[in-house]
Structure 1
């Protein structure tokens, strides 16, 4: 697969034209896909349809990048290698740090995977996405008469009709910048990548890392509280509803008592007290339990056949840095939106170490209750 067979476009609005031009020039991307009705009601889909129509005749794949991102100069090179490996997939190179898909990428990073199948019922992150041209053309047909204004929601709905959600790149080489939103997402606060790393660390995982296809149950946080996505939640009558972890815990085989016993036995008291002082005792509890469950699921995922048969090449320093990146975002991402912007580097480091202490204990939850963690 050569770069000439991948065309690209940058979605933008006239108010960000200069920013988009600079991005396209820096990354060697194709032309700008301008909002065709910039004075109309906000609609990312309106611009996305222009962007997906901008593919060249010779292209086998088309990349659409939004204007409010940062990415390495090697982005197209990384996309080209990923396309060669997964020619029939929708490939997604950014995941939002506080979404379910962000939690999926974080879990996969802790398990050592390079890619993870996206959560079917959640929006498909479209800040940087590559589709085979036949898929791009089919999406345009699917979307052209829709009243939906969010291209990420409609992309996920479209991929569900295709029977397979996108593949999320676990190492996020694309980062969201700024907090403003033409499409009305500013209330979500700082929206950053779940596992931000540079191109050098991303490349071995993208090229050789194993794919986590089945998520099983998924721990995630939102607005300061922990939740669980049950297995098969996409088939629920209301798949977008959020289930707090105590409510969703019974089918996992775990109990609240067992988790709280782990908290009492293994949580570092000094770190818990400091996190509680800064962000509230309830948040300190929720974050540690969330990371305990995340660690449990990461160990379980790493035992699967795909992980056992994976090439050893992605391991080592690059894999460790991707794992560290995942741990570095879990605390700030779990805070309510209004608290994220004010997190200092020292506070972030505190939460990272606190999160890691819980993740390290997660594997204890895989054994019988009497082995290390009791009811």
Structure 2
């Protein structure tokens, strides 16, 4: 398997030019792609078109990262190895902890998978994406003249048209930094990676780990409440963008509210739930536990379908990846305005509560 030539660019705006230069220098990225109309209406897509046009004509793949990220010094090597393994795929190295795709990645982590296929009814996170150069050129042509200003939204439209969504790296080696947003996302509050993983663990997982192509229905949380993304909901009249509360969606999953309630009555650790509830309320504590119960059930189901991990995938790295994914479930499930209240003690309590639910979910029929 020969190593492909990966060219690279950093998307930036003049107000972050110094930050972008430092990032490019540290990660040895090829060039900067600066917003061509910095005084115009905010548009990530406008800068993305410049970034994807910056591909080296001799390159096999092109990597574009945004300027408000942190990443390991080994980023290019890890990306090149994955591009060699998946030469025709769009590879996504950061996934938001509070999105449906984040929930898919969290489920995949618990199932022991290192990659998961993105869902078609949500934006494709675009903080760090590697495309084959032919795909990059096709996306650039597709984007030219679009009225959309969000590159992540247009990515999903483009991939849906191609018939295949991107692959999400489950261990996230790229992290979002800061809460400001040139493109208008500041209201989403603290936005972090779903499964932050050090390069030493991520490299073998991404090089050898399994791919979860279809996770089935996906439990996720938003603004303190639990939801379920149903299989095939992208074919609905709203393109699948609507949200289904878990109680209403359960009949389509084969589970019942009675089953969930019985598990909660039997296994909810009252002391942990009370500890979480002291800061965030009883309703949130119960919603988080129920969400993670359903997450554990689906992850166990996916793990059985995947089978045992390859022998050359480090078991300890897999275990640390799982713990990283569960540790973000609580903070990500909070309303944006409450996330700053999640200090180390609160995160520990939410994580312990989440694990108790995951383990109970693994025992659900």
- How high is the TM-score relative to the length of structure 1? 0.96
How is 1:1-375 mapped onto 2 (pairs within 5 angstroms)? 5-238=5-238, 239-304=240-305, 307-308=306-307, 310-366=309-365
Tell me by how many angstroms 1:310 deviates: 4.3
1:184 aligned counterpart, secondary structure = coil
Give the conservation status (yes or no) of the 8 Å contact 2:3–2:84: no
| Alpha-carbon distance in 2 for matches of 1:310, 1:160 | 30
CA deviation profile, 1:294-342 (whole Å, cap 9, x unmatched): 00000000011xx226412224111111001001100000000001122
Give the conservation status (yes or no) of the 8 Å contact 2:117–2:212: yes
Tell me by how many angstroms 1:4 deviates: 6.8
2:30 aligned counterpart, secondary structure = coil
1:303 aligned counterpart, secondary structure = helix
1:131 aligned counterpart, secondary structure = strand
CA deviation profile, 1:208-235 (whole Å, cap 9, x unmatched): 1110001210000001000001111111
| Alpha-carbon distance in 2 for matches of 1:122, 1:312 | 34
CA deviation profile, 1:183-220 (whole Å, cap 9, x unmatched): 00000000000000100111121011110001210000
Give the conservation status (yes or no) of the 8 Å contact 1:3–1:76: no
2:291 aligned counterpart, secondary structure = helix
2:328 aligned counterpart, secondary structure = helix
When the two structures are aligned, how many residues end up with a matched partner? 364
| Alpha-carbon distance in 2 for matches of 1:75, 1:314 | 19
Give the conservation status (yes or no) of the 8 Å contact 1:221–1:227: yes
Tell me by how many angstroms 1:97 deviates: 0.2
| Alpha-carbon distance in 2 for matches of 1:163, 1:85 | 20
| Alpha-carbon distance in 2 for matches of 1:32, 1:200 | 27
Q: Which moved more, 1:324-333 or 1:313-322?
A: 313-322
1:187 aligned counterpart, secondary structure = helix
2:83 aligned counterpart, secondary structure = helix
1:122 aligned counterpart, secondary structure = coil
Query: What are structure 2's unaligned runs of at least 5 residues?
Result: none
Give the conservation status (yes or no) of the 8 Å contact 1:2–1:80: no
Tell me by how many angstroms 1:24 deviates: 0.3
Tell me by how many angstroms 1:80 deviates: 0.5
2:341 aligned counterpart, secondary structure = coil
RMSD after superposition? 1.0
Tell me by how many angstroms 1:3 deviates: 6.4
Runs of 4+ in 1 over 4 A off after TM superposition: 1-4
| Alpha-carbon distance in 1 for matches of 2:95, 2:48 | 18
- How high is the TM-score relative to the length of structure 2? 0.98
Q: Which moved more, 1:228-237 or 1:10-19?
A: 228-237
Equivalence for 1:373: none
| Alpha-carbon distance in 2 for matches of 1:3, 1:351 | 42
